[in-house]
Chains A and B, each alone.
Chain A
Amino acid sequence: MSAVRLIARDELRLMARNRVALIAFMLLILLTLVAVLSAWSHQQSIADLRARHQDAAQEAFDSQPDRHPHRVVHYGSFIYRPLGALAAFDPGVDAFTGNSMFLEGHRQNTANFGDVRQSSMLIRFGQLTPAFVLQVVAPLLLIFLGYGAIVRESERGTLRLLMLQGVTRRQVVLGKLAALGIVALLAGLPAMIGLLLIAGQPGAMLLPVLVIALGYAAYLFLWVVLVVLTSTLVRRSRDALLALVALWAVAIVLLPRLAPDVASSAVPLANRMQTDVAIARDLRRMGDSHNPDDPFFAAFKQQVLDRYGAEDVEDLPVNYKGLVAVEGERMTSELFDRYAAASYAAQARQNGIVAAIGVLSPAIALRDLSMAAAGTDFAGHRRFLEQAEDYRYDLVQRLNRLQATGVTYADDTAEDAGADERKRVGSTNWEEMPDFTYSAPSAATLARGALPGLLVVLAWLIVAIVLLARATTTLGERR
C-alpha cells in the first residue's frame, strides 16, 4: 500500500507548492474560525437577550395589580423562543420565524419580529455560520484543489509512466482520494472543533452532534469522490474544472433556490386574512357568545342551568360569564388548531417537495439534516408554536375559570361607580399562573428528524464510490 501513500504525499506536496491553493485553504480555515466565533457569540447574545426579555415579561405579568381576570386574558403573555445550543452551528430558519410571540385570549398570533425584517437585504445572500461554510464554500475549495488530480497525470503522460512502474489504477485513484480526503478533513476540522465546543455546552446532546458530524463528513467525502471521479472521466483538466464548478453551482446554488418555488406553486398557503375571515365565518356558524339570542349559547345556558339545578343565571353558584368565556375559548381554540394544523400540513407538504428535490442535490439533503439535528428546522419551529398554543390555552382557561369562581355574576354585570373595584381579583393570583417553559426535543427526536437527509447523503456517497470504482477500471484507456 505504500504506492498509495507515495501518490497521496506527492499530490499533497503539489498542492502545497501551488500558492493560490494554499492561500485559498488558509482563507477557508480563517472563514470557518470567524464563522464559528461569530455564530457562537451571536447565539449566546440571542439566548441572553431572550432569557432576559422572558424574565422581564414574566415579571410584568406576575406584578400586575388587582384586575378583572378577563383583563388579564387580554393583557396576555409575551413568550420568546429559546434556541438550542446547536443553533450556533446551524441557526436554520431562526432569522425568518420571528422569536417573540404575544399570547392572548380569542386569537392565535403569529410569531413576529424576525431578524430577516430587521436586517438589511444582505441576509438573503446567506448567513455566515459554520454550516454555511461547510455546505457552500468547502466543496468549492475541494474542486479547485482536486480537479486536476488524475486528468493532469493523463494529460501529461505521467499516468502511463506510473503504470509502467507497476502502480495499479486502483492505487493511483486511492492515492489521489487519500490526498484530497486529508484536505477535506483539515478543511472540516475547525468547524468540527467548533461543533464539539458547542456540544460541550450544557443542554447540547451527543446524538444530534454525532449525526451532524457524520452527515458533514459524508458530504465532504462525497465531494472528494465527485472531484476525483470527474477528474477520471474527462480528457482535459479545463473540462474537469468547468464541469465541477457547474455541478457545484447547480447542486448548491441553483437547486436549493429553485426547489422552494416549485413547492410553493404546487402547494399554495392560505394567507392570514383568508384564514382570519374563514375562522370568523366558522365561528358564526357555531354560535356567537356575544349574542344573547344565539341558539348555541342558549342551549349551553340551559345545560349549565340544568347541571346546577338553577332557575336563572343569577342563582348559579358560579359566575355564568366566566363559564361562557371558558366555552367560547374552547370553541375558538378548536378552530385555531384546525386551521393551524391545515397550515402546518401544507407547509410540511411543501418541505416534502423540497426534500424530494433534495434527492437530486445532496446540498439540500445536508441542509435538511443539519437543521433537523440542530432543531432549527420548520419542525423545530412548529414544536415551539404548538407548545406556545398549549400554554396559551391553558393560561386563558385558568383565567376564565378564575373569572367563574372569583368574580360574582352580580358584580360582573354591575355598572355602578364601585363595580369596577368589586370585579377585580387579588394580584396574588397572577403569580400562581404557570410560567411558559419550553420543553426541548429529545436527542432521539432530533436525530430521527435528521435521518432522511443523512440517508440521501450516504446514498449519494455510495453511488459516487461505485461510479468511481467503475471508472477506475478503464482509467487511462483512450475512449
Chain B
Amino acid sequence: MTLWLHELRLLLRARLNLLALVLLAGLSTAAVSLGMVEVARQRAAIAAIPELQTEDMAAVIGWAAETGDPGNAAYYSFHPTWDAPAPLAFAAMGMRDVAPFIMRVRALGLEAQIHDGDTFNPELALPGRFDFAFVLVFLAPLFVIASFHDLKSGEREAGRVRMLEALPGGNSRLWRRRGVLRFALLWLGLSTPFLCAALVQGVSPGAIVAVLLLAAAYLWFWIALAAIVGRLRWSSVTNAATLAAIWLVLVLIVPTLANVAINRAVPVNQGAEIALAQREMVNRAWDIPRETTMRRFYAGHPAYAASAPLPVAFHWKWYFAFHQVGDESVADEVAAYRTGLEQRDRAARLLGWVLPPVGMQMLLGQLAETDLAAQLAYQDRIRAFHGRLRRFYYDYLFSDRPFGEADYARAPRFGEDG
C-alpha cells in the first residue's frame, strides 16, 4: 500500500501530470454543466407548452365553438407534442440540437407537417456540441497520450529503467502499478463530475454504471494503444507524435471518410420528394370528382363508410379525407426514406464495432436516447398521436355531430395513451 502512495506522490509531484488532471476534471465539469444548462433550457421550453397552448386554444374556441363545426375545430386546433430529454441526455446531446423536440400538429395531412424543423442557429450547430460525450470521445484520449506516452521511455531516457527493473518488485509489477494509478486518476477526473451531474439529474444506477464502465473501457483502449507503441522502444517524443497521429486518424479522419462513404453507399431520396408528392396528391383532389376521393377513403376506413353523402356545398369531411388519402399515397416513399436513414445509422453502428471512438459516441447516444433511433421513436409517437387526433375529429365529422365548447377539452392529449 505504501508503494502505491509513494507512486501517487511521485506522479503528482510532476507539475505537468497534475496540470493535466486538473484540466481534464475542469473540462469534464464544464461539459456536464453546459449539458445540464441545455437540458434545463429544453425542459423549460417543454414546461412552457401548456400556457402557450391554453392561450392559443382559447382564441380558437372563442370563435369556432359558436359554429359547432367539427371541421373548424379540427382545422384550426394545433396540438403540441414534445420529446422530453432523457435523464442522461445532458451527457450526450446527440441530435437534440438539430432535430425539433417540440412540434405542433393538426389533423391535416401529416407528411406536410412532420418534417418541419425548429429554429436553430446553423453556425452554432456546425462544430458539434461540447458535452460529456465529446470530452470522453475526443479529448480524453489526448490526456491518455500525454500521461502514458513516456511511461517507460521517460525512465529509459532518464537512465533509470535498468535500476527500476532490478529493484525487488520491479519489472512488470512496477509498470502495471504506475499504469493503473495513472488510469485511475484520469478516470476519476473524468467521471467524478459526470457522476455528480448524473445523480442530480436522476439517471438510473444501471445507466450510470454503464457509462462509467464504458469510459473506463475506452480509456483502457487508448492505454493499450500507448502500451503497444511503447513496446517499439522509440523515444518519448516519437511515441507522443505517433499516438497523436493515431488519435487524429481514429477520431477525426476515419469517421469523416466513413460519413462520405456511407452517404454514397446508401442513397436516401431527398425527403422533399415525399412532401412534393403528397402535395400533388392533396391538391389533385380539387380537380377530380369528390366521390373518387371519398370512395378511396372509405375503402381504407370502412368504419366511416356509412356517413351521409356529401352535400353540394363544401364539406370538411371531404377536405380531411383527401388529406388522409394524400398521406396514404406516399406511405411507400415514407417507409423507404426511413429505411434509408436506418441503414445509414446501422452502417455507422457497424463501424463502431471496429472504431472505438465511433462506437462510444453511438453507445452514449443510445443510452442518452438522443440518437437517430430516439428521433424516429419521437416521430412514431407523433404519428400515433396524430392517428388518435384524426379518429377523434372524424367521429364528429363523419357523423355530423356538432362540436361544442366542451368537446375541445375532450381532444386527445399527447403523452396520454388511449
In contact, B124 and A260 (Cβ under 8 angstroms) = yes
Given contacts A137-B248, A256-B127, contact A128 B259 (CB under 8 A): yes
Which are the 5 A-B pairs with shortest beta-carbon distances? A120-B348, A93-B122, A260-B124, A96-B122, A100-B272
Apart from A102-B112, A272-B102, A291-B63, 10 more pairs, CB < 8 Å: A68-B286, A96-B122, A118-B271, A125-B256, A140-B245, A241-B240, A245-B240, A249-B139, A260-B127, A272-B100
- A444 on interface, CB distance cutoff 8 Å: no
Query: Nearest chain-B residue to A100 (Cβ)?
Result: B272
Contacts of B127 in A (CB 8 A): 256-257, 260
Query: Nearest chain-B residue to A152 (Cβ)?
Result: B237
In contact, A271 and B102 (Cβ under 8 angstroms) = yes
Q: How far is the CA of A76 from the CA of B280 in the complex (A)?
A: 11
Report the minimum CB–CB distance from A190 to chain B (whole Å): 16
B362 touches which of A56, A109, A121, A269 (Cβ 8 Å):
A121
Interface 9-residue window, one of B47-55, B182-190, B203-211, B401-409: B47-55
Q: How far is the CA of A140 from the CA of B243 in the complex (A)?
A: 12
- B172 on interface, CB distance cutoff 8 Å: no
Contacts of B341 in A (CB 8 A): 118
In contact, A238 and B116 (Cβ under 8 angstroms) = no
Q: Is the interface of A mostly helix, strand, loop or mixed?
A: helix
Contacts of B347 in A (CB 8 A): 120
Q: Could you write out 9 A-B pairs with CB less than 8 Å apart?
A: A20-B242, A60-B280, A78-B272, A100-B270, A110-B116, A115-B263, A117-B95, A125-B259, A253-B139
Interface residues of B in 10-69 (CB under 8 A from A): 16, 27, 30, 34, 37-38, 41, 45, 48-49, 52, 55-56, 59, 63
Report the minimum CB–CB distance from A263 to chain B (whole Å): 6
- B300 on interface, CB distance cutoff 8 Å: no
Report the minimum CB–CB distance from A276 to chain B (whole Å): 7
Q: Using CB atoms and an 8 Å cutoff, list the residues of chain A in contact with chain B.
A: 20, 24, 31, 34, 38, 42, 49, 53, 56-57, 60, 64-65, 67-68, 71, 74-76, 78, 80, 92-93, 96-100, 102, 109-128, 132, 136-137, 140, 144, 147-148, 237-238, 241-242, 245, 249, 253-254, 256-258, 260-261, 263-265, 268-277, 280-281, 284, 288, 290-291, 343, 347, 350-351, 354, 371, 377-378, 381, 415-417
Q: How far is the CA of A34 from the CA of B130 in the complex (A)?
A: 28
Given contacts A257-B130, A271-B118, A273-B52, contact A351 B123 (CB under 8 A): yes
In this complex, the member of B48, B112, B256, B362 whose beta carbon has the largest number of chain A beta carbons within 10 angstroms is B256
Contacts of A264 in B (CB 8 A): 38, 121, 124
Q: How far is the CA of A174 from the CA of B199 in the complex (A)?
A: 56
In contact, B268 and A121 (Cβ under 8 angstroms) = no
Q: How far is the CA of A148 from the CA of B237 in the complex (A)?
A: 10
In contact, A117 and B99 (Cβ under 8 angstroms) = yes
B interface residue count range (under 10 / 10 to 19 / 20 to 34 / 35 or more): 35 or more
CB-based A-B contact count at 8 angstroms: 256
In contact, A137 and B253 (Cβ under 8 angstroms) = yes
- B193 on interface, CB distance cutoff 8 Å: no
Given contacts A117-B98, A416-B312, contact A127 B259 (CB under 8 A): yes
In contact, B52 and A274 (Cβ under 8 angstroms) = yes
In contact, B119 and A275 (Cβ under 8 angstroms) = yes
Q: How far is the CA of A276 from the CA of B104 in the complex (A)?
A: 10
